[in-house]
Amino acid sequence: MKAMVVQTPGPVEQEPLKLIEREKPSPGAGEILVRVTACGVCRTDLHVVEGELAPRRAAVVPGHEIVGVVERCGRGATRFAPGAPVGIAWLRGVCGRCRYCASGRENLCPEARFTGYDEDGGYAEYALAPQAFAYALPEPLVRAEAAPLLCAGIIGYCALKRARVRPGTTVGLYGFGGSAHIAIQVLRHWGCRVFVMSRGGGHRELAEALGADWVGRADQPPPAALDAAILFAPAGELVPAALEALDRGGVLAVAGIHLSPIPPLDYARHLFNEKELVSVTANTRRDAAEFLELAARIPVKTHTVAMPLEQGNQALRMLKHDEIKGAAVLTSV
């Protein structure tokens, strides 16, 4: 099979992803072999490829927004039948024994393993997954365009939950890429007022098209105080501005797995009056199932740019430089 692997992490401009031929993997006990229809290109992949996330596996295949079809089931894997459409996301395994797993917070498990990081992911023609960490796709989501929902969508939904967003509230989105363009559709479904702060002209145009109530520059104050804010851009320098834009009791959730340094905060300006700064760490399987059901019901429409598998470096480079309106999706068919 064809696969794109990270030979040596480095700047994506130096094309660290290499196209190779590998033997098609065979599913072990409790695993399924999935023929990949499409794999979304996520900013976390960029952090893996460029080495901002310390390597955990040599020559890893990135990619964790996987839509595909079950080709074969390993011993004891009876949850899905061959031919079933499935999704594979970032969270791949947990210990099931620690206090975090026992309390419904498996995303915080110290032994958690992740697709496209600890194990090979979806920048390939085939991918393996434990059946317990794969998702049945509702009928409206059985398409390549649904790939970004498997991480960008799920993490955006988790960020909304962490920020305690309620229907009808005022929410600010900082950065408007693959995740935010999905989150805004959930917010509009909930009747929220949405302000978008983004540095990219194309991203601002998409935000307007998707119903943002106001769109401005990334560092520009919104026209009204925010009940909640989500920072999607991996830019720590935006944290003070976002906190200052919050109303009393507001919450800023940082949705990325990697963030540049945060400048010093002034307690009175940025945190007093019970403002909160929280992070988002992966997701639970329950989060994913909740979001996928909601996305099918709304229904969420993704804006994607399809690219062949061998253009993985180019897709990541375009993501890095904000040249993609929506999200890129790699296909091998």
**Residue ranges covered by each domain of the chain:** 2-137+303-331, 154-279
How far apart are alpha carbons 284 and 304 in whole angstroms? 25
Diameter over CA atoms, the chain? 59
Position 114 confidence tier, pLDDT thresholds 50, 70, 90: very high
Model confidence over 279-297: pLDDT tens digits?
999 999 999 999 999 999 9
- Whether the pLDDT of residue 255 is over 70: the answer is yes
| Tokens 């390939």 belong to residue | 124
Q: Which CATH architecture has domain 2-137+303-331?
A: Alpha-Beta Complex (3.90)
Q: Which tokens belong to 56? A: 């955990």
pLDDT-derived band at 164, boundaries 50, 70, 90: very high
Task: For residue 238, give the nearest of 198, 192, 182 by alpha carbon.
Answer: 198
Distance between CA 94 and CA 41 in Å, rounded?
Answer: 24
Q: Which residue do the tokens 């893996």 mark? A: 48
Comparing CA positions, the residue from 78, 68, 83 lying closest to residue 30 is: 78
Q: What is the pLDDT of residue 325?
A: 84
Do 71 and 129 meet the contact criterion of CB atoms below 8 Å apart?
no
Q: Please determine, for residue 229, whether its predicted confidence score (pLDDT) is greater than 80.
A: yes
Radius of gyration of the chain (CA): 19
- Cβ burial, residue 24 (10 Å; 0-12/13-18/19+): middle
Is the pLDDT confidence value at 148 over 90? yes
Mean pLDDT in residue range 140-149? 89
**pTM score, whole prediction:** 0.94
Q: What is the mean pLDDT of the segment spanning 74-95? A: 97
CATH class of 154-279: alpha beta
Tens of pLDDT, residue by residue over 21-69, are 999 999 999 999 999 999 999 999 999 999 999 999 999 999 999 999 9
